[in-house]
Amino acid sequence: MTLGSDVSGLSTEAGSAAALGLSIVVPAYNEAGGLQALHGRLITLAATLRQRYGLACEVVYVDDGSADTTLSIARNLPATMLDVQVVSLSRNFGKEAALMAGLDHASRGAVLFMDGDGQHAPELVETLVAHWIDDGFDVVYTAKAHRDNEPALRRTAVRGFYALINWGARQKIPEDAGDFRLLSPRAAQALRQLPERNRFFKGLASWIGFRQKRVDYEPEPRAHGFSTFSTARLIGLSIEGLTSFSVAPLRIASLLGVVLAISAFLFGLSILWETWIGGKSVPGYPSIIVGMMTIGGVQLLMIGIVGEYIGKILSEMKARPIYFVAEHTVKRAELDAGAD
């Protein structure tokens, strides 16, 4: 038994790239308003891909415990040109878990992740597929071309986040990469094998390696409804990403501790110097209070950081399933006569 994993059997050279087909994974949480329109665009896409590459497509809608009619709408979508799977989770597990459920149920070779709100244009998929089939890339990811319409504070926070997470990392996570990405059959297989429960897809998809390709794009405005990712949720996701991908925060904690210890030592020396050589009496309490508050604050922060990692260990230890599927339906494609 080896401790690595060989997915070379699924490499493009081992068979024609398009032979296994493509699964499109769409997480949907309260997306009733726009699902039908999106499905229409996916049917057009599937027709184009079949014509151009002979690629058979499938779409996997993952209903992430929606409170609206998303599930019944998804079930009634027609399987024209492409197979339709609907996976309904037992409650809202969050986008990362929904993506995982979709990845597990995808039955074709390559896997494409796409949001259910119409922000990820199905038309761009043709470009992504071309990079996979024509140019042989394994992970084709999209990145926001620019963030000009976002507040400066948020842009700075994003830059700081990536600087921290990539600090000393062997495989850097590309800045601004989104979840809209295509994985070749072997890359998808590799991603399925990662055992962790706390998942940060952007990081994992980059960590697996293979030939990666960046495509810049402009996300469309949301077709309906509003984003479920509030600032608080984004901060949560950042902490999740940081603690599962890097020990940089722990390293910073240690560095800060060393810096504080050295300055305390120097400060002590200077006090001794003043009393013994200068003959001055030690000045009063402000310096003590400042010192205490600094050390107290820094200690609390560092304990918090360590706590994050311990929490992570706890949830990995419990080894609970990432999601529960409550219902699962599969509709095979009705193809026009003459097609396979």
Binding site for ligand UDP (CB under 6 A): 27-29, 31, 64, 92, 94-95, 98, 115-117, 119, 227-229
CB of 235 to ligand UDP, least distance (A): 14
Q: Is 33 in the site for Mg ion (CB under 5 A)?
A: no
Q: Is 63 in the site for Mg ion (CB under 5 A)?
A: no
Contact code string over 95-134 relative to Mg ion, x by CB under 5 A:
----------------------x-x---------------
With a CB cutoff of 8 Å and minimum separation 6, the contacts of 19 are 109
CB of 221 to Mg ion, least distance (A): 9
Residue 105: name the closest of 47, 25, 159, 168 by CA: 25
Neighbour tally for 151: CB within 10 Å: 9
Q: Tell me how far apart the alpha carbons of residues 154 and 279 are, in angstroms, rounded to a whole number.
A: 52
Q: Judged by CB, which is closer to ligand UDP: 46, or 98? A: 98
CB of 283 to ligand UDP, least distance (A): 54
Q: Is 31 in the site for Mg ion (CB under 5 A)?
A: no
With the C-alpha atoms ordered 259, 261, 266, 271, is the resulting torsion angle positive or negative? positive
Q: Tell me how far apart the alpha carbons of residues 63 and 31 are, in angstroms, rounded to a whole number.
A: 9
Q: Tell me how far apart the alpha carbons of residues 56 and 293 are, in angstroms, rounded to a whole number.
A: 64
Q: Judged by CB, which is closer to ligand UDP: 29, or 201? A: 29
CB of 226 to ligand UDP, least distance (A): 7
Residue in the block written with tokens 């030690």: 282
Q: Tell me how far apart the alpha carbons of residues 320 and 316 are, in angstroms, rounded to a whole number.
A: 8
Q: Judged by CB, which is closer to ligand UDP: 167, or 324? A: 324
Q: Judged by CB, which is closer to ligand UDP: 100, or 187? A: 100
Look at strands 325-331 and 82-89 and give their pairing.
Answer: antiparallel
Give which of Mg ion, ligand UDP, none residue 229 binds (C-beta under 5 to 8 Å, depending on kind). Answer: ligand UDP
Residues that bind Mg ion (CB under 5 A): 117, 119
